[in-house]
Amino acid sequence: MTHEVAAEDEIAPGAVLQDRYRVDRRFAVGGMSVLYRGVDLQTDRDIAVKVLPSRLRTKRLAARFEREARMAIGVRHPNWVVTHAAGSLESGTPFLVMELLEGETVYDRLRYDGPFGLEPAIDILCAVLDGVHAAHQHSIIHRDLKPSNVFLTNGGAVKLIDFGLSKDLGSLEDRTMVTGPGEALGTPSYMSPEQVLAEDVDPRTDMWGAGVLFYEMITGQRAFPRCEGGVQDTFTMVLEQEPVLATERNPALPFGVNRLLARALQKEKEDRFATIAELREALVALRPG
């Protein structure tokens, strides 16, 4: 069964993709995607369909979206959002079919409830690291860890979402891809020094991402906040300055938090934790009691 496009960037309600996934309604619009809610007609499970808007359908962004699909489908882990299928609309616009998540992102929780307690933050970051480790086993670097990319489901699961900036170290295409002029490599406040400098990334890049994520969860503030002077000033801060100690932001935190963050946020990759397992072990050691 084919589908019809009701309007630009929209799938008509009731359309069926790949003779299996019925699209019911649009429920969210982001800067880089449109999300629809639907049903898997074979399993009767709710699904989400992610579409790249046609206004963004350059060759480079379409290729990046398709790479995201390959990587998301290729890694199966409880802490990754499940991606069932991928394809293209008749217009050529690519789409992903994913599990439908009910809940909120870490960004949402911080915005409405403020900083997390230390123990819940440790639990969330451990889950994130487990998902990141699974990706690394497939030579995939997430390289965009931030509060809006960590989803907390109503059932208590922690899910990594949005792999649009992930890099497959095992792919010749990814290893040789050059970012086009003006294309962002991530959100400036969350980019590692090697990303800012357009240098090679590896698993230790995600350690930096985990560090800035943890800092924000337990303090309610970014380790490297946006600067009034613009992106370049933020980049200078990432490259040259140290964040305010977490214990100054939140005096209730143990001093050991500062030591962990100092190691995770070393400017040189070689000075960070050697492995995700080592970072996770240091994190668990911070548990109260």
Catalogue the active-site residues: 144
With CA atoms as reference, report the closest residue to 27 among 45, 51, 44, 3: 51
Record the tokens describing residue 93, joined without a space: 């616009």
173 Cβ contact list (under 8 Å, min separation 6):
67
Record the tokens describing residue 139, joined without a space: 């030579």
What three-state secondary structure class fits 152? Answer: strand
What does DSSP say about strands 16-17 and 45-51: parallel, antiparallel, or unpaired? Answer: unpaired
With CA atoms as reference, report the closest residue to 79 among 142, 12, 21: 142
With CA atoms as reference, report the closest residue to 283 among 119, 173, 156: 119
| Phi, psi (deg, nearest 5) at residue 140 | -110, 130
